[in-house]
Amino acid sequence: GENVEQHPSTLSVQEGDSAVIKCTYSDSASNYFPWYKQELGKRPQLIIDIRSNVGEKKDQRIAVTLNKTAKHFSLHITETQPEDSAVYFCAASISGNKLVFGAGTILRVKS
Amino acid sequence: KAGVTQTPRYLIKTRGQQVTLSCSPISGHRSVSWYQQTPGQGLQFLFEYFSETQRNKGNFPGRFSGRQFSNSRSEMNVSTLELGDSALYLCASSLLAAMNTGELFFGEGSRLTVL
- CB burial readout B64-81, b (16+ within 10 A) else e: bbbebeeebebbbebeeb
Predicted local confidence at residue B4, as pLDDT:
97
Check pLDDT > 70 for residue A1.
Answer: no
Max alpha carbon distance in chain B (Å)?
38
* Average pLDDT, integer, range A77-105: 94
Chain A hits for B107, CB-CB cut-off 8 Å, are 43
Q: Give A71 or A2, the one with higher predicted confidence.
A: A71
Check pLDDT > 80 for residue A2.
Answer: no
Q: Would the CB atoms of A32 and B104 count as touching at under 8 Å? A: no
Contact residues, B window 20-59, toward A, CB-based 8 Å cutoff: 33, 35, 40-45, 48, 55-56
Name which of B91, B100, B101 to mutate to probe chain A: the one with the most chain A Cβ atoms within 10 A of its Cβ.
B100
Could you read off the pLDDT of B31-84 as tens digits, one per residue? 999 999 998 778 999 999 999 999 989 999 999 999 999 999 999 999 999 999
Q: Would the CB atoms of B99 and A100 count as touching at under 8 Å? A: no
Could you read off the pLDDT of B2-22 as tens digits, one per residue? 899 999 999 999 999 999 999
CB B92 within 8 A of CB A36: no
Judge if the upstream peptide bond of residue A8 is cis by omega within 30 degrees of 0.
Answer: yes
Q: Give the residue on B whose Cα is nearest the Cα of A52.
A: B101
A97 falls in which pLDDT band (50, 70, 90)? confident
How far apart, in whole angstroms, are the C-alpha atoms of residue A10 and residue A17?
15
How far, in whole angstroms, is CA B91 from its chain's centroid? Answer: 4
* Average pLDDT, integer, range B88-115: 92
CB B58 within 8 A of CB B3: no
